[in-house]
């Protein structure tokens, strides 16, 4: 009955040290994580909801950077540590909204000037402190003209990338930094065209 005994080849594989331990030999990795794993998951979910959110883009004011229907990830923690920077894309509550309104209106725009800057739009160019800005991210040059505007400290000047189709600082003035909700991080879903 020698044919029932394990072959020498089988014994060679079992004796080979690198094949003795394989992750799939133990089914422990499929086991329920337990209470500590659930607590870790709960902490991650709470931190995610506290410091970030997913927003929907309803208009073409930020085209071509963001399109209608895009879902974007916005992080809300970095402006506790640092000040908003030029060219940051930020979400903010509508500065023209009355305080008694029940629904908060949120916009997303690009910061083009900070407190202490002078901003002007003329001849299809954005001028910050008298210097024409090279903006390769806009849909088309602005066709409107805005007067020279001083951005007070504690404020920023925001414009949409689709300059001619955007309700932004050229309409209602500078934005108080306290209205900023968060900073755009990435687009997590873009619907098919």
Which residue is catalytic, options 2, 7, 61, 166? Answer: 61
Q: Are 101 and 80 in contact (CB under 8 A)?
A: no
- Return the DSSP state at 150: E
78 catalytically annotated: no
SS3 label, residue 164 = helix
- Distance (Å, whole) CA 166 – CA 89: 14
- Return the DSSP state at 111: E
Q: Are 159 and 114 in contact (CB under 8 A)?
A: no
SS3 label, residue 127 = strand
Q: Catalytic residue numbers? A: 61
């Amino acid at each position: 009955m020698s044919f029932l005994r394990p072959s020498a080849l089988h014994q060679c594989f079992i004796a080979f040290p690198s094949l003795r331990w394989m992750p799939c030999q133990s089914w422990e990795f499929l086991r329920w994580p337990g209470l500590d794993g659930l607590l870790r998951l709960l902490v991650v979910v709470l931190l995610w909801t506290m410091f970030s959110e997913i927003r929907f883009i309803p208009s073409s004011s930020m085209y071509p950077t963001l399109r209608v229907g895009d879902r974007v990830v916005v992080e809300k923690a970095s402006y506790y540590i640092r000040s908003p920077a030029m060219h940051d894309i930020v979400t903010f509550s509508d500065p023209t909204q009355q305080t008694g309104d029940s629904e908060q209106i949120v916009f997303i725009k690009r910061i083009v000037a900070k407190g202490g800057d002078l901003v002007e739009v003329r001849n299809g160019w954005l001028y910050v402190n008298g210097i024409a800005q090279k903006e390769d991210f806009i849909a088309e040059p602005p066709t409107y003209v805005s007067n020279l505007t001083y951005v007070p400290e504690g404020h920023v000047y925001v414009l949409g990338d689709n300059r001619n189709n955007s309700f932004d600082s050229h309409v209602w003035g500078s934005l108080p930094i306290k209205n900023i909700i968060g900073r755009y991080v990435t687009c997590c879903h873009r619907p098919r065209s």
